[in-house]
Structure 1
Amino acid sequence: MRKLVVIVLYFALVFKGNASVNPKTIMLVLGSADAAVLEERVAIAVRLYRTQPIQKIIVSGGCGAHGSGICEATAMRDGLIRGGVNDQKIYKEENAKTTVQNYVFSRVLRDESDQKIIQPGDTVFVVSNHWHAIAVAARLQEYDRVVGRFYIEGSITPKATDKLDYVGIFNGQPDNDKFVLRGSWLTPETCWSVGDSLYYLQNNMVYGTDKDNRSFSSKRAEDVLPFLNLLDASHSRAFIDGGKFWWVRHGDRLWKVEKDSKKVSDKLVWSNWITGMPEAWKKGAFNTGVLWNNTLLLFANEKILVARLEKKGFVFVKETTAAEYFRNWPFAWGKSNVASAMGDPSTGNLILYRNMERMAIDQNLQVIAPPVANKLKWIEDPK
């Protein structure tokens, strides 16, 4: 059978919604665990870049998906730069293992100023050599209020079971909160224990369960953590685990929140919190943090910040990557991209969560064992 040659030049879907004040044109390049396919998609993206005024580019794909030896986002970034693309325009999304996760993680990726890269009113070209780009572009437009366009070029042999709406990305789940939640279940933003119960915050829901996950409950996040309603919504939020409390960073604000009462006990200025903090950390987004053995660790997408606790507060020590700081860091976890972190009071170990997995590190900074899946029951109707 002859291969079907597909060339779809910036086909636009009809946008409905309010445009942003300064709309951008963005390219979202979808990754692949196959090196040859990845190279082809990069070449397609370079050709589109030469014909369109692209302001920002997201390359989406993690490390080691399906057992490959590729860090997809890094490979795509390097290929785009070789093709003449301005490296300052490229942002790496290094969590995604599937097309669903390309959407889930790219839509909330933030730039160096802690602003979402994809904003309502923007035009987003979803680039690939496969028709999965169509479904991703459609979902972005329907639920993220952008002008969705797909740019597909390549030779594909369809299978009898192939569907235009790849794995039901567009029509499979009309509730976008549920779609996003399930696409990364369970990847907590923070977690804590009360007696024998464990609680996980993910997106707009708190999931509670016993340690064996025999029973579970779900509640709206704002009902459990009412201070969430008061955070600066124009910036990301990051939970820093302090044991019996969290520090919650949002913009240039840092609130201390007691875990027992869930009440704010102190309000600080983020940019003044760590003596010697680099400027990039004062303005940029990071994912999570933890105070562990009198050392403060903050995790961003590709780097971590290390600070020591002194009598007058925290003092900056260094910026590095988790792959360099911890021993036997797994390749599939990239350089630093951790979703949440907490100290385990029973063992003294550091527990890290990332993209549906968790991993323990001992006090000698040694990864104890390879990451394991977070196999917690899925809630069909999350509150």
Structure 2
Amino acid sequence: MKKIAISILLSIISLTTVFCHSKTIMLVLGSADPKVLDERIQIALRLYKIQSFDDIIVSGGCAAHGSSICEASRMYDQMTASGIPAEKIHKEENAKTTVQNYIFSRMLKNASGEKIMQPGDTVFVVSNHWHAISVAARLQKYDGVVARFFIEGSQQPKESDKLDYVNIFNGEIDNDKFIAKGTWLTPDAVWSVKDSIYYLMGNLLYVSNPENTSYTVEKLSSDRELVKGLDLEQDLHFIDDGKQWLIWDGAKFLPMDKISGKQRAPLAWHELLRNAPESWKHSMKTGFIQDGTLYLFSDSKLLIAKKKGKYFDVETETSADQYFKNWPFGWGKGNVNAASMDQETNEIQLYRNMEVLTLDLKQRTVKQVKPLRLKWVNY
């Protein structure tokens, strides 16, 4: 009986701990239309007056549907001007569709590197459109939160409009596939071997010829030689260093040969970067090394460090739009997901949200931006 009583007590303590740490979060869905977006901001401000929130996520990227606004920044600016503390508001600056509002918001992290949305949290999805219902439903079913929707406005539905907006809730029951389709293709790492291009996206590996006329796709497991020893469930960030990667998992750098998967001893943060701000441990997304210079990208910043002996020393902290000429408005201040180097041309390809950008480092110029159109295959 004592064992049963202790087990019950531990269960109660565990549940109490979960609920004590659960948060109330507002998720505001953006719009490329400035008038619509401003209306959604006002709805969010009215809700804030009657409901207490621990965190607010404003979701929307730059230049969606040809718009001239950065949605998350506009929401952030108006909310802080209305008195909401800046530290409560987190900008999700990738999304260009409602599906991506869901995908990128659920993965968004705070300054400490922790996901803002956690199982057990209560999330209010805010909009002037019924798409908030579908997003809330998917969050509750697949992400373990208690989801609510808060909708105001006078938008009139068309005959063809469905309550389940673009089948967000019922269209795909495999959430991994739903996320892959919604961001196809936003890779974590890209590399070439002979006439094959490899795109790694989570635990999905897509292999194509340069023309994308033939391709294969597979779900990776950790026993595959290429990724042996990697925890594919972790949030991994790849720095392209020519023939190898430096893979940051939030605690250490793992040097790995791109072709063989052979690994060297891991490096601590300070064994690679001596004087980088601590915040970069949590905000770094990708990077590359060329001619003794390390370039690191976060959502809004670019860090440049020079090789000095065994280490890299930080020389500049700026933003990609300030450093590179012709940086596209739609890419915000940086917001790069993956980087790869072309050893023959010395050009750099950067990947973000179904687009690829080519850099000329010598001229510090963006040469071109084009859609990354790869065939989708069910897996």
Same-fold call, TM cutoff 0.5: yes
Q: Which runs of 5+ in 2 are unaligned?
A: 1-16
Kindly provide the amino acid, as one letter, of the partner of residue 227 in structure 1: G
Spell out, residue by residue over 1:358-382, the C-alpha distance to the aligned partner (whole angstroms, 9 max, x if none): 010112111112x2111111012x2
Residue 215 (str. 1) matches residue 217 (str. 2): no
Task: Find the aligned partners of 1:96 and 1:296 in 2 and give their Cα distance.
Answer: 28
Partner residue, 1:325? 323
Among 228, 231, 238, the residue aligned to 2:230:
228
Kindly provide the amino acid, as one letter, of the partner of residue 30 in structure 2: G
What aligned pairs does 1:91-102 form with structure 2 within 5 A after superposition?
A: 91-102=90-101
Spell out, residue by residue over 1:298-354, the C-alpha distance to the aligned partner (whole angstroms, 9 max, x if none): 111111111111222101112110001111100011001001011111211111001
How far does residue 230 in structure 1 lie from its aligned partner after superposition?
A: 7.6
How far does residue 227 in structure 1 lie from its aligned partner after superposition?
A: 2.3
Among 356, 359, 362, the residue aligned to 1:361:
359
How far does residue 214 in structure 1 lie from its aligned partner after superposition?
A: 1.4
Partner residue, 1:168? 167
Partner residue, 1:346? 344
What aligned pairs does 1:104-115 form with structure 2 within 5 A after superposition?
A: 104-115=103-114
Partner residue, 1:11? none
Partner residue, 1:179? 178
- Which segment is superposed worse, 170-179 or 210-219? 210-219
Spell out, residue by residue over 1:109-147, the C-alpha distance to the aligned partner (whole angstroms, 9 max, x if none): 111111111111111111000000000000011111110
SS at match of 2:208: strand
How far does residue 291 in structure 1 lie from its aligned partner after superposition?
A: 0.7
What aligned pairs does 1:240-279 form with structure 2 within 5 A after superposition?
A: 240-279=239-278
Contact 2:239 2:289 in 1 (8 A): yes
How far does residue 228 in structure 1 lie from its aligned partner after superposition?
A: 2.2
SS at match of 1:367: strand
What aligned pairs does 1:35-54 form with structure 2 within 5 A after superposition?
A: 35-54=34-53
Residue 124 (str. 1) matches residue 126 (str. 2): no
Could you tell me the percent identity over the aligned residues? 51
Task: Find the aligned partners of 2:201 and 2:232 in 1 and give their Cα distance.
Answer: 18
Task: Find the aligned partners of 1:21 and 1:114 in 2 and give their Cα distance.
Answer: 21
Partner residue, 1:295? 293
How far does residue 187 in structure 1 lie from its aligned partner after superposition?
A: 0.7
Kindly provide the amino acid, as one letter, of the partner of residue 123 in structure 2: V
Kindly provide the amino acid, as one letter, of the partner of residue 63 in structure 1: C
SS at match of 1:338: coil
Task: Find the aligned partners of 1:150 and 1:272 in 2 and give their Cα distance.
Answer: 47
Q: Is the alpha carbon distance of 1:271 and 1:127 closer, same or farther for their aligned partners in structure 2, counting shifts above 3 Å?
A: farther
How far does residue 22 in structure 1 lie from its aligned partner after superposition?
A: 1.2
Residue 379 (str. 1) matches residue 377 (str. 2): yes
Task: Find the aligned partners of 1:208 and 1:21 in 2 and give their Cα distance.
Answer: 46
Kindly provide the amino acid, as one letter, of the partner of residue 272 in structure 2: W
Task: Find the aligned partners of 2:256 and 2:47 in 1 and give their Cα distance.
Answer: 47
How far does residue 85 in structure 1 lie from its aligned partner after superposition?
A: 0.8
Contact 1:227 1:262 in 2 (8 A): no
Task: Find the aligned partners of 1:228 and 1:24 in 2 and give their Cα distance.
Answer: 31
- Relative to its length, the structure with more helix (as a share) is 2
Partner residue, 1:15? none
Task: Find the aligned partners of 2:232 and 2:105 in 1 and give their Cα distance.
Answer: 25
How far does residue 156 in structure 1 lie from its aligned partner after superposition?
A: 1.1
Contact 2:271 2:311 in 1 (8 A): no
Kindly provide the amino acid, as one letter, of the partner of residue 82 in structure 1: A
Kindly provide the amino acid, as one letter, of the partner of residue 371 in structure 2: A
Q: Which runs of 5+ in 1 are unaligned?
A: 1-17
Contact 1:20 1:120 in 2 (8 A): no
TM-score (norm 1): 0.91
Contact 2:273 2:313 in 1 (8 A): yes
What aligned pairs does 1:26-105 form with structure 2 within 5 A after superposition?
A: 26-105=25-104
SS at match of 2:42: helix
Contact 1:227 1:263 in 2 (8 A): no
Contact 1:340 1:352 in 2 (8 A): yes
Which structure exhibits the higher relative contact order, with contacts defined as CA atoms closer than 8 Å and separated by 6 or more residues?
Answer: 1
How far does residue 50 in structure 1 lie from its aligned partner after superposition?
A: 1.6
Contact 2:202 2:232 in 1 (8 A): no
How far does residue 19 in structure 1 lie from its aligned partner after superposition?
A: 5.2
Partner residue, 1:335? 333
Alignment coverage as a number of residue pairs: 359
- Which segment is superposed worse, 213-222 or 31-40? 213-222
Contact 1:71 1:334 in 2 (8 A): yes
TM-score (norm 2): 0.92
Spell out, residue by residue over 1:76-100, the C-alpha distance to the aligned partner (whole angstroms, 9 max, x if none): 0011112211111111111111000
